Amino acid sequence: MEAQDRMNADLNELRAQVADIGAQLNTVLDRAKKEGGSFAQAELAQLQERVQTLMGDMKDAGRQAYSRAEDTVREHPATSLITAFALGALVALIMRR
């Protein structure tokens, strides 16, 4: 459970960063409408850099989550198989309705 808690905390942090970038983008766009080009372009360049950094962080988080899932399956193959079967059966029941 500790790994899942850590992953949830990481995802919440990424969501907060995305929301912050969105708010900053709105501010930059409002300034661009009022003040014009060069200032807004500099701020947009900074935001693009932050977005690219955030995308890299998200990719890393995804890779880490995938790696943890693989490790869990390797450590507990029977439990993983039973869990996958149970989830498949549950999805099949839901799809029938």
pLDDT tens-digit profile of 18-45? 888 878 877 877 777 777 666 667 777 7
pLDDT at 86: 92
Where are the chain's structural domains? 2-96
HEC string of the chain equals CHHHHHHHHHHHHHHHHHHHHHHHHHHHHHHHHHHCHHHHHHHHHHHHHHHHHHHHHHHHHHHHHHHHHHHHHHHCHHHHHHHHHHHHHHHHHHHHC
pLDDT at 39: 67
pTM: 0.51
Mean pLDDT confidence for 54-79: 88
